[in-house]
Amino acid sequence: MVKFTNVLLSAYVAFGCFAPPLLADATMGADIFKKEMRTVCGFSGNVMAKKHTQNEWQHFYEAGTLKAEMLLLCPDAKPLTDASLKHLYDFLYHFASDSGNTALCY
């Protein structure tokens, strides 16, 4: 019983430490846009997100063309890593033109 409890506790701690970076987060996406793209693009993350609907952003992400779309909308930006892209997609989807949400600080 003690061995089972130790294994369960170890799994819980490991999941708690390693899982959060694997999950997409709109706040992290906003920070990525603000840090890496805002000044280069010349407009806020809210303006960027409103350029497409949620379905359009989802299509770009699932088709693997989100990087190309970002470079099309902001040609001077440097290409994003796959890890950054996941978070940025979550941000763009959350604040898309048909979402009803507005990113006030980005």
Q: Per-residue pLDDT tens for 22-42?
A: 556 899 999 999 999 999 999
CA 38 – CA 104 distance, rounded (Å) = 14
Q: Per-residue pLDDT tens for 2-15?
A: 675 665 566 565 55
SS3 98: coil
pTM of this prediction?
0.74
Q: Is the Cβ–Cβ distance between 79 and 65 less than 8 Å?
A: no
Q: How far is CA 38 from the centre of its chain?
A: 15
In Å, how far are 12, 19, 65 from 101, measured between CA atoms?
34, 27, 24
Q: Per-residue pLDDT tens for 34-88?
A: 999 999 999 999 999 999 999 999 999 999 999 999 999 999 999 889 999 999 9
